[in-house]
Amino acid sequence: EAFGDRSLSQGLSVLVGLGLCVTMLGLGCAVELGQLGQQLRRPVGLLLALLGQFVAMPLLAFLLALIFALDEVAAVAVLLCGCCPGGNLSNLMSVLVDGDMNLSIIMTASSTLLALFLMPLCLWIYSRHWINTAVVQLLPLGAVSLTLGSTLLPIGLGVLIRYRHPRAADLLVKISLWSLLVTLVILFILTGTMLGPDLLAHIPASVYAIAVLMPLAGYALGYGLATVFKMPPHCRRTVSLETGCQNVQLCTAILKLTFPPELIGGMYMFPLLYALFQSAEAGLFVLVYKMYGKDSYKQDTLGEEEDTDISYKKLKEEEVADTSYGTVTTEEHNSIQMEPTQTSL
């Protein structure tokens, strides 16, 4: 009954909508047109985003829903989260594990743009198993597409701000990351206090298990995908985080704005649970890297710098040998003579 309260529902919708707009604006501010053109000429990041976010993760969500025998409402919430594009959390975590930031940002932006077409398609394909249920028959694919389309405006505005005002864009990126954290915390507080603790108690234990396993399996799938493409270690870490981190703001917005609250019920909380566990598991990923992987990363970087320095010295010596057409000698009485030397061509 509390979840169906009209004023509270509208307030949550406004909060979710504003948080999503700020997040998409920050994502656009992180994209540079020069990097985008370079990635389009060598579309590895685009291909990885396609395979990770719209092949691996939707299939993983579908299989988990079948294995844990979820009901139709819980299955739709899990599928919706699995079909979402990558989120901004992956960009922050990629910095902490010395990942490839250009690849991270391009994968996030590419998956967000691809979601406009592929997310409704994936939802339509994987919801066929529950087609005879009311929630799937009411699955608003048009509203999902409209919500996705509305994110293009703040993304485009962010790209324009990056192009014209780079310093302002850097500030907006930081604001968007903080807004992600603040929005999730506020949603947890509101749903936990105003809607009552019974809301979390009504969520099945199987849904909690999926919220734990799904991001963990996503990180593993992403790392395996990057290994298949024979990418260097720092790119593997990046692809791993990009695959496991979903855009939970978008998932929450779709559940909140397109489904009746009395129909979706407690499953509105699933993306928030997913956000909690994906952040905790990514934090463990970063902690393990800082404890065991940082030294090897520094050694690899140092070795590359030493090799470059040696090569540079050799190149300079060769240049000196090839361009010495004469030597200058000094004799007594302050006379200077040029002695020709023979240079082999």
Phi and psi for 337 in degrees, rounded to 5?
Answer: -125, 150
Intervals of the chain under pLDDT 50: 1-4, 299, 302-336, 338, 343-345
Please indicate, yes or no, whether the overall pTM of this predicted structure exceeds 0.85.
Answer: no
Q: Three-state SS for 210? A: helix
Q: Please state the domain extents for the chain.
A: 15-291
Q: How far is CA 165 from CA 32, 60, 77, 153, in A?
A: 12, 40, 39, 18
Measured between alpha carbons, how far is 302 from 14 in angstroms, rounded to an integer?
50
Question: Could you report the per-residue pLDDT of 85-107, keeping only the tens digit for each?
Answer: 887 788 778 878 888 877 888 88
- Check if the beta carbon of residue 282 is closer than 8 Å to that of residue 217: no
Please state the length of the chain: 345
User: Which DSSP string do the residues of 132-198 spell out, in sequence order?
Assistant: TSHHHHT--HHHHHHHHHHTHHHHHHHHHHHHH-HHHHHHHHHHHHHHHHHHHHHHHHHHHHTS-TH
Amino acid type, 170: D
Measured between alpha carbons, how far is 110 from 45 in angstroms, rounded to an integer?
8
Amino acid type, 268: Y
- Check if the beta carbon of residue 181 is closer than 8 Å to that of residue 248: no
Cβ within 8 Å of residue 235, ≥6 positions away? 99, 100, 103, 226
- Check if the beta carbon of residue 93 is closer than 8 Å to that of residue 241: yes
Q: Three-state SS for 246? A: strand
- Check if the beta carbon of residue 228 is closer than 8 Å to that of residue 52: no
Q: What is the pLDDT of residue 14?
A: 73
Q: What is the pLDDT of residue 179?
A: 76
Q: What is the pLDDT of residue 6?
A: 56
Q: What is the pLDDT of residue 72?
A: 86
- Check if the beta carbon of residue 21 is closer than 8 Å to that of residue 251: no
- Check if the beta carbon of residue 190 is closer than 8 Å to that of residue 218: no
The structure tokens 């509270």 sit at: 8
In sequence order, what are the beta bridge partners of 340? 326
Question: Could you report the per-residue pLDDT of 170-222, keeping only the tens digit for each?
Answer: 888 888 877 777 777 777 776 666 555 666 667 788 999 999 999 999 999 99
Measured between alpha carbons, how far is 296 from 247 in angstroms, rounded to an integer?
31
CATH classification (class only), 15-291: mainly alpha
Measured between alpha carbons, how far is 224 from 170 in angstroms, rounded to an integer?
32
- Check if the beta carbon of residue 48 is closer than 8 Å to that of residue 102: no
Residue 169 structure tokens: 């864009």
Q: Three-state SS for 324? A: coil
Q: What is the pLDDT of residue 16?
A: 72
Measured between alpha carbons, how far is 69 from 64 in angstroms, rounded to an integer?
8
Measured between alpha carbons, how far is 261 from 258 in angstroms, rounded to an integer?
9
- Local structure of residue 292 (DSSP, 8 states): I
The structure tokens 């009311």 sit at: 134
Measured between alpha carbons, how far is 290 from 282 in angstroms, rounded to an integer?
12
Measured between alpha carbons, how far is 229 from 223 in angstroms, rounded to an integer?
10
**Residue 43's closest CA among 107, 108, 87?**
107
Residue 341 structure tokens: 């030397």
Amino acid type, 212: V
